Amino acid sequence: MPDQGPEMEIVHLLRAVTVELSAHSGRFAQRNGMHPTDVRALVVLMDAARAGEAMTAGRLGGALGLNSAGTTALVDRLERAGHVRRVRDERDRRRVTVEVDERAVALGWSHFGPLIGRAVELLRGYDERELAAIRDFLAGVREAAEGDTGEPGHNGSG
């Protein structure tokens, strides 16, 4: 078992934050008649839009670990609920992207906005060097989690 120093205290806090954020997201999904995967899909779509990247159903499914049939069912469900729309590419009419509807963004802000506001408020208490350290730490943890497939032979796990 690893030493119980300040590093492990931070790891345990990160785990607790993850659990609380997951519960917060679950409450949003439940209140809005959504599946947790629906919420994850909306986050992936909003992140892609913020990065200026078009998101096809295939890319969305890949990001969520869904097969083609599961992705189609997900997009159909989100489209019926008015959360997303399918948009034909103007240059290549065969290509269809999935975009988040503004109403879904507003719905998300109504639930997650106060939490985001509090996080921003907390971050404003740190200087640029501290913010860079927080950013690097979180990016590193994210990278480690993305690379962990849970399969033997990956990330030194077997």
pLDDT in tens, the chain (158 residues): 566 899 999 999 999 999 999 999 999 999 999 999 999 999 999 999 999 999 999 999 999 999 999 999 999 999 999 999 999 988 887 889 999 999 999 999 999 999 999 999 999 999 999 999 999 999 999 999 988 655 554 444 33
Contacts of 48 (CB under 8 A, 6+ apart): 54, 55, 59
pTM of the model: 0.82
Identify the three-state secondary structure at position 5. Answer: coil
Could you say which DSSP state residue 157 is in?
-
- pLDDT of 149 reads 57
Q: How many CA atoms lie within 13 A of 124 on its CB side?
A: 6
Nearest to 95 by CA among 53, 50, 58: 58
Partnered with residue 84 across adjacent β-strands are 100
